[in-house]
Amino acid sequence: MAEVTIRYCVPCRYQSKAVQDADAIRREFSTGLEGVRLVPGQHGVYDVAVDDHVIYSMEKEERFPDPADLIARIRARLE
């Protein structure tokens, strides 16, 4: 089973967004994941990875992810 990691910037106060995204991911993949882990970071980071493979980077995308987009990217990575 795969693990999803959300790394978020603490000083930027991105924790609530990370919690919302983690909840959406858990609801969608309730039994299909090993877990969803939140990792505090800095410097504006908001990255989402599946088994250490980054599927979303706010630095590259220049915006927060849409939960539906994250779910689609996770599903594609798991297939």
The CATH superfamily assigned to 2-67 is Glutaredoxin (3.40.30.10)
Please, which pLDDT band fits residue 32 given cuts at 50, 70 and 90? Answer: confident
Phi, psi torsion values for 10, nearest 5 degrees? -70, -50
With contact defined as beta carbons under 8 Å apart, do 26 and 73 qualify? Answer: no
What are the pLDDT digits (tens) for 43-72? 999 999 999 999 999 999 999 999 999 999
Q: What is the pTM of this model?
A: 0.95
